[in-house]
Amino acid sequence: MEIPQPKDKVLRIIVKPNSPKSEITAVDEARNALRVSIKAPPDKGKANKEVIKFFSKLLKKKVEIVSGLKSKEKMLRIG
């Protein structure tokens, strides 16, 4: 019997806004997360939009932020 895989995957990230460019900078094994630099400032959701745009382009899938809209630690749903 095959175990069904969940349709959506979840990814934990730690965002550093106002960086020179948007990129994945490291893996934080202690927090089980990716450290990500984002070019956009943390102003009026600009960094969140940039996170969605960056990961959507990178993974070629739909991405949404499911938690951490006002935090540096975010949970992304990739589906």
Q: What's the CA gap between 36 and 65, in Å, rounded? A: 14
User: pLDDT digit string (tens) for 1-20?
Assistant: 554 455 568 999 999 999 99
Mean pLDDT value of segment 43-63: 95
Q: How confident is the model at residue 69 (pLDDT cuts 50, 70, 90)?
A: very high
pLDDT score of 52: 97
Mean pLDDT value of segment 12-40: 96
Q: How far is CA 70 from its chain centroid?
A: 13
At residue 24, the 3 state secondary structure works out as strand
Per domain, the residue ranges of the chain are 9-78
Architecture per CATH, 9-78: 2-Layer Sandwich (3.30)
The two structure tokens encoding residue 16: 């550093």
